[in-house]
Structure 1
Amino acid sequence: MRRMTSHSFNYALKKIIKIKPPQCILDVQGCGSVYCSEDIAEDEVFLSVPSSPLVLTEAIARDSLPPSAHALDGRTVFILFLIQQSLLKEKSFYHPYLDMIPERIYTALDFDERDMEQLRGTNAFLVVQERKSDLRQKYEKTMGIVGEDLRKEQGYTWERFLWAETVLSSRAFPATLFGGGAEGEIVLIPLGDMLNHKGRQKLTWMKTPQGLEMSGSAVSKGNQVFNNYGPKSNEECRHISCSMP
């Protein structure tokens, strides 16, 4: 595989936005929202994402890991890949993208005991407890498989595993957007994954020979540009860093 530097990725990243350049602004918690720096007309393409070399796929993730990880399921491979690349920091080709992702992502999986008490008596309380327990078991099983190559002492900790899982649950898209991939396979789309959710927001993904294009409702300069994750319950939204009234 051709090696590329983070500088070449940064250059390519700037070339993603073809028509209306949005601007990413961080809130007080370090979470990014995307605002348009120019007016966007109804149904105008404002984001164009080439499938190569920017989109992160399961194949790229698997190719970056040692053989002991190759038999793992695709999502776990992606988790280990995100940890690996984040540990490489500036040496990673994907550093400019990973540097945009908060070190702490505020979902219910990040709740401490006091936060969890606020959920007691709700469906979300049991859902979060079970989800976190399942993930902990998955982490221990994974480390039992790859522990000789990817050790906790190197940084493959439970905390980073949970962070990487949350990155996927809050940012991943189905690989079928690009017209390929097995059922359940996911991809990460830099910048395209930074749009926050808004219910009933008009939004269209269009597959092109080069990759994907995004269009939707008209947005005036200075206003936030949204994605639409589809209908979500409160419990689902707590897992993907969105909130419902």
Structure 2
Amino acid sequence: MSTIQSSPYSRLQSWLTNAGGGFHPETGFSQDIAGSRIIATEDLEKDIPVVSCPFSKIITKTLAREAVLQVLGNPSDVDNEDWTERQWIGTYLSLHWIIGESESTALGHYEYLATLPGPKQLRTPLHFTQDELELFKGTNLYGATLDRELDWKKEWDECRSFVAKINNQWGESFSWEKYLTAGTYLSSRSFPSSLLNKNPSLIATPSTEPVLIPGVDSLNHARAQPVSWVVTYPMEEEPVSEPKISLILHTPIAKEQELFNNYGPKPNSELILGYGFSLPANPDDTVVLKLGGAIDGKKWEIGRDARGAEGLWKEILSTLMEPGTELEDATYEDILDAAEMMQEMVQAKIDRLPPLVALNKEKFRPEVQSMFYHYIEGQAAILQSLFDFCGMREQEAIELARKQGINLVLDPNPEADEEEDQ
């Protein structure tokens, strides 16, 4: 691992510094086969800003839209007002690669893009080989990947067609790889626009939008890392010419150690799909379940140790009871039927899970193998905890029946009895 203080990283540092932001002087970029990271070049105290970015350098939907339209000559027949943030920002970033740095002053993020990983370094499922993607067949992640590819390719086709109407050559150069790369930057590096408020927050709401914050997004993720964001405005304690956002680390960092950000609690499904990495034994892992026939299509995210299972349980139980009956009035038959129904849902999920087997190291890249093992381990652990949850509900039914003078004995292996009867 070597510290890098030369182009393109030094260009990013100068670019941010000249705009009023930049990195702490006792930090530097480091790079190895796994990618780039920010390290301390000297011991750093806690509670200090390590990187800041002025608002003018933040890539928002508004900035991207205005720049794209300016580059395309401000066409009067704009018919894409319904474009998503990803479409505007994806087109904006792609035009940097299509046009080139010397051809347009409206595209102002070449220094930033030069430090980001190229397509061959990205590891989200849309960058998997077909064999790697097939590893996840039967999981929620597999279906989510196919859905994302369908949605993003539809967006890309709209963006490419719009650009081609203005400049056919640019449209022909607007490849799927470019849009996929830009979209992956947005999924893996964006922050909610609520971070730009006077009281910054990572909590996204329907009104927030994804934004890219150069420099601040250079730090990798560490779960539960104590960090905070501070927005500084002109005329406040620190004299600045425009608002800027700074990332503050609340733990001391020793020389040569990496500086980490905290992306918030995220399950491996989200980390893999949006970021291209996973965490072993991730405490935030979830399994998504949907009750068949549910009118509103409601889904439940169940975590480890069956966290969140009560809502699904109540929904299943209520569907099996007489209309108007309160849940606390459920009979032992209701509870047993609900437990059986929930077990069948869980078993169907388990049956579709790929087995945790040794993988061909020559066929599957190491990072993908790790993601596979981490993801499947989490899914299997959660589903087992749901089986245990159902077992506890069955015991409740047995106890309720006993109080009514009924001695229930549940067959632990009904399938085996059926085989014996035959």
Aligned equivalent of 1:77, options 88, 91, 106: 88
Deviation at 1:77, TM superposition (A): 0.5
SS in structure 2 of the partner of residue 119 of structure 1: coil
The question of 1:22 aligning with 2:56 is answered no
Q: 1:208 corresponds to which letter in structure 2?
A: T
**Is 1:190 aligned to residue 214 of structure 2?**
yes
User: Paired residue for 2:247?
Assistant: 214
Q: Cα gap change, 1:18/1:125 in structure 2, threshold over 3 Å: closer, same or farther?
A: closer
Shift of the alpha carbon at 1:159?
1.4
Change (3 A) 1:131 1:73: closer
The alignment partner of 1:147 has SS state of: helix
Structure 2 gap segments, 5+ residues each: 1-9, 70-74, 199-204, 234-242, 281-422
Aligned to 2:189: 171
Kindly indicate whether residue 229 of structure 2 is the aligned counterpart of residue 225 of structure 1: no
Find the counterpart in structure 1 of residue 143 from structure 2: 126
Number of equivalent positions? 237
Q: How does 1:19-168 map to 2 (within 5 A)?
A: 19-28=24-33, 31-52=35-56, 54-66=57-69, 67=75, 68=78, 71=81, 72-91=83-102, 92-104=107-119, 105-149=122-166, 151=168, 153-168=171-186
* 8 A Cα contact 2:13 2:23, kept in partner: no
CA–CA distance in structure 2, aligned partners of residues 140 and 233 of structure 1: 31
Distance 1:200 1:194 in 2: 18
Whether contact under 8 Å (2:12, 2:115) holds in the other structure is no
- Secondary structure class of the residue paired with 2:101: helix
Q: CA 1:111–1:190 in structure 2 vs 1: closer, same or farther (change >3 Å)?
A: same
Displacement after TM superposition at 1:146 (Å): 4.2
**Deviates further, 13-22 or 126-135:** 13-22
Once the two structures are TM-superposed, the CA of residue 160 in structure 1 deviates from its matched residue by 0.9
Do the aligned partners of residues 147 and 196 (structure 1) sit closer, same or farther apart at CA in structure 2, a change above 3 Å counting?
same
9-18 vs 214-223, greater mean Cα deviation: 9-18
Measured in 1, the distance between the counterparts of 2:154 and 2:148 equals 10
Structure (1 or 2) with the larger CA radius of gyration: 2
Q: Distance in 1 between matches of 2:112 and 2:258?
A: 20
Distance 2:117 2:85 in 1: 23
Structure 2: how far apart are the matches of 1:132 and 1:70? 21
User: Contact conserved, 2:39 with 2:256, CA < 8 A, in 1?
Assistant: yes
**Aligned counterpart, 1:200:** 224
Q: Percent identity?
A: 27
Q: Name which of structure 1's ranges 10-19 and 34-43 shifts more when overlaid on structure 2.
A: 10-19
Distance 2:41 2:11 in 1: 24
Cα deviation code 1:5-46 (max 9, x no counterpart) = xx99763324523644421222325x3211121222121222
Q: Distance in 2 between matches of 1:8 and 1:242?
A: 27
Query: What's the offset of the Cα at 1:58?
Result: 2.0
Say if 1:18 and 1:34 are closer, same or farther in 2 by CA, change over 3 A.
Answer: closer
CA separation in 2, counterparts of 1:103 and 1:237? 19
* CA spacing shift, 1:26–1:155, aligned 2, 3 Å: farther
Using the TM superposition, give the Cα deviation of residue 86 of structure 1 relative to its aligned residue in structure 2, in angstroms.
2.4
Cα distance in 1 for partners of 2:43, 2:275 equals 28
One-letter amino acid of the counterpart of residue 125, structure 1: Y
Q: Distance in 2 between matches of 1:226 and 1:146?
A: 38
CA distance in 2, matches of 1:56, 1:14: 17
Shift of 1:144: 4.0
1:150-170 Cα offsets, whole Å, 9 max, x none, are 546542111111111001001
Distance 1:64 1:154, change over 3 A: farther
Q: Bigger shift: 10-19 or 41-50?
A: 10-19
CA 1:74–1:124: 2 relative to 1, 3 Å: closer
What is the one-letter code of the residue matched to 2:32? D
Distance change in 2, residues 1:19/1:161 (3 Å): closer
Preserved contact between residue 70 and residue 77 of structure 1 (Cα < 8 Å): no
Q: In 1, distance between residues paired with 2:152 and 2:23?
A: 39
SS at 2:160 equivalent = helix
